[in-house]
Amino acid sequence: MDSMLTRIKDLATKLAPRLIEIRRHIHSHPELSGQEYQTAAFVAGVLSSSGLHVREGVGKTGVMGELLGVTEDGGILAIRTDMDALPIQERTGLEYTSRTEGVMHACGHDVHTTVGLGTAMVLAQVVEELGGKVRFLFQPAEEIAQGASWMVKDGAMDNVSAVLGVHVFPSIPAGSIGVRYGALTAAADDLEIKIIGESGHGARPHEAVDAIWIASQVVTALQQAISRTQNPLRPVVLSIGKISGGRAPNVIADQVQLLGTVRSLHPETRANLPNWIENIVANVCHSFGARYQVNYRQGVPSVQNDYTLTQLLQSAAEEAWSSDHVQVLPEPSLGAEDFSVYLDHAPGSMFRLGVGYTDRIINHPLHHPEFEVDESAIITGVVTMAYAAYKYWQPENRVDFNI
Ligand code: NI
């Protein structure tokens, strides 16, 4: 085994009790997106006492910590973890359960923050072996898909050559990780459609323009058109999640509002979606005499993992844990993740950290009130991240990164 890997593993193992304590502290004090004040102060304290240069209040409640390697010539490797929790009432019954009513770390961002801190603590002790600077980004507000933009606007990606990220995954057992080449998550856009008809008596529909009937035609047309006019090898998912309109049982509705989410993987497909949707809405509405408005708001883009950096994560994890513990994920997710915002500024790769209990039949999914993690995964995450960061500057990788 590489001697540096042995050193990193030893350091991480020694830190394990402290890291579990840190994770439980963060878990029992969850904070919602954009309100991560206590978490940020805690993170800043741990980073400072580990010898990092710390900047607080980055993009509101974000924290940046920097470790200088032996030279600055190697550029900056960013390691991003997110810190926010969800508006969910925890029902795990754990002794370190959330102490905040209605708020829970149900997406594992407490684990991500801990992995980020653990990686910083380990790398701070081997800093003379690093070929460049490591910048830790502790990001707020991932769940509302805004924190990454806040951080980037405040300089988080300035001079960064590459960025690594991690997200827990309950369907992969603890002790293993998943890597994915190419698309990891989808672009997630918001859709609002208004159908404007004309009100009238429910008994005389021919004298009115029924916005409810036309809205239902629009929903049906959109769903059918996906299967007939979108390339089936380039997935598009359009879900209308809210529909509202109408006043009374015997009054024809003059307005209906449809709210939905649109997911896609390919940038070109995504670019065409606003026009594609508007055409369908326009044609249905024109056919039946209604007017319409379509508001298509672009959310976060798809996470597209860089090939070389994914290879770096895969080889670091395979050396650390053997190839049996590294899954190359065959499929992307149509979920969204604002890690993609960093990828507009530098290549990057995010891996999935297995947190499933191997001895349980059910591992509850992310965002579930009983979601739990096998905490042994924290060390898997820290070692994988720290060793990948070290390897980033090793000669066999350097050529590819163009730094
Ligand atoms: Ni998450």
Separation of CA 315 and ligand 1 centre (Å) = 24
Separation of CA 80 and ligand 1 centre (Å) = 12
Separation of CA 227 and ligand 1 centre (Å) = 30
| Residue 38 structure tokens | 């206590």
Separation of CA 338 and ligand 1 centre (Å) = 9
141-164: per-residue pLDDT in tens?
A: 999 999 999 999 999 999 999 999
Separation of CA 98 and ligand 1 centre (Å) = 17
Separation of CA 105 and ligand 1 centre (Å) = 9
Separation of CA 143 and ligand 1 centre (Å) = 7
Identify residues whose C-beta is under 5 A from ligand 1, the ion: 107
Separation of CA 3 and ligand 1 centre (Å) = 34
Full pLDDT tens readout for the chain, 403 residues: 789 999 999 999 999 999 999 999 999 999 999 999 999 999 999 999 999 999 999 999 999 999 987 776 789 999 999 999 999 999 999 999 999 999 999 999 999 999 999 999 999 999 999 999 999 999 999 999 999 999 999 999 999 999 999 999 999 999 999 999 999 999 999 999 999 999 999 999 999 999 999 999 999 999 999 999 999 999 999 999 999 999 999 999 999 999 999 999 999 999 999 999 999 999 999 999 999 999 999 999 999 999 999 999 999 999 999 999 999 999 999 999 999 999 999 999 999 999 999 999 999 999 999 999 999 999 999 999 999 999 999 987 654 554 4
Q: What is the 3-state secondary structure (H, E, C) of the chain?
A: CCHHHHHHHHHHHHHHHHHHHHHHHHHHCCCECCCCHHHHHHHHHHHHHCCCEEEEEECCCEEEEEECCCCCCCCEEEEEEECCEECCCCCCCCCCCCCCCCCECCCCHHHHHHHHHHHHHHHHCCHHHCCCEEEEEEECCCCCCCHHHHHHHCCCCCCEEEEEEEEEEEEEECCCEEECCEECCCEEEEEEEEEECECEECCCHHHCECHHHHHHHHHHHHHHHHHHHCCCCCCEEEEEEEEEECCCCCEECCEEEEEEEEEECCHHHHHHHHHHHHHHHHHHHHHHCCEEEEEEEEEECCCEECHHHHHHHHHHHHHHHCHHHEEECCCCCCCCCCHHHHCCCCCEEEEEEEEECCCCCCCCCCCCCCCCCCCCHHHHHHHHHHHHHHHHCCHHHHHHHCC
Separation of CA 27 and ligand 1 centre (Å) = 14
Separation of CA 167 and ligand 1 centre (Å) = 7
Fold of 3-184+302-400: Aminopeptidase (3.40.630)
Rounded CA gap, 236 and 49, in Å? 47
Residue 331 makes CB contacts below 8 A (sequence gap 6+) with none
Separation of CA 311 and ligand 1 centre (Å) = 23
Separation of CA 66 and ligand 1 centre (Å) = 24
Separation of CA 63 and ligand 1 centre (Å) = 18
Separation of CA 286 and ligand 1 centre (Å) = 42
Separation of CA 18 and ligand 1 centre (Å) = 23
> What pLDDT was estimated at residue 1?
72
Separation of CA 235 and ligand 1 centre (Å) = 22
> What pLDDT was estimated at residue 403?
44
* Residue of 315, 349, 360, 303 lying closest to 184 (CA atoms): 303
Domain boundaries, the chain: 3-184+302-400, 187-297
Rounded CA gap, 4 and 330, in Å? 31
> What pLDDT was estimated at residue 399?
47
> What pLDDT was estimated at residue 398?
57
| Residue 62 structure tokens | 């974000």
Separation of CA 84 and ligand 1 centre (Å) = 8
- Identical fold for domains 3-184+302-400 and 187-297, yes or no, is no
Measured from the Cβ of residue 51, the count of other Cβ atoms closer than 10 Å reads 15
- How would you classify residue 245: left for phi > 0, otherwise alpha for psi between -120 and 50, otherwise beta? left
* Residue of 374, 382, 263 lying closest to 321 (CA atoms): 382
Separation of CA 197 and ligand 1 centre (Å) = 41
Rounded CA gap, 33 and 140, in Å? 6
Rounded CA gap, 95 and 316, in Å? 34
> Does residue 59 contact residue 129 with C-beta atoms inside 8 Å?
no
Separation of CA 134 and ligand 1 centre (Å) = 23
| Strand pairing report for 133-139 and 62-67 | antiparallel
Separation of CA 107 and ligand 1 centre (Å) = 5
Rounded CA gap, 273 and 262, in Å? 9
Separation of CA 364 and ligand 1 centre (Å) = 14
* Residue of 195, 214, 186 lying closest to 259 (CA atoms): 195
Amino acid at 270: R
Separation of CA 138 and ligand 1 centre (Å) = 13
Separation of CA 22 and ligand 1 centre (Å) = 18
Separation of CA 15 and ligand 1 centre (Å) = 24
> What pLDDT was estimated at residue 136?
98
Separation of CA 109 and ligand 1 centre (Å) = 6
| Residue 23 structure tokens | 């994770």
Separation of CA 373 and ligand 1 centre (Å) = 13
The yes or no reply on domain 187-297 and CATH 3.40.50.620 is: no
Separation of CA 108 and ligand 1 centre (Å) = 6
Separation of CA 120 and ligand 1 centre (Å) = 21
Separation of CA 341 and ligand 1 centre (Å) = 15
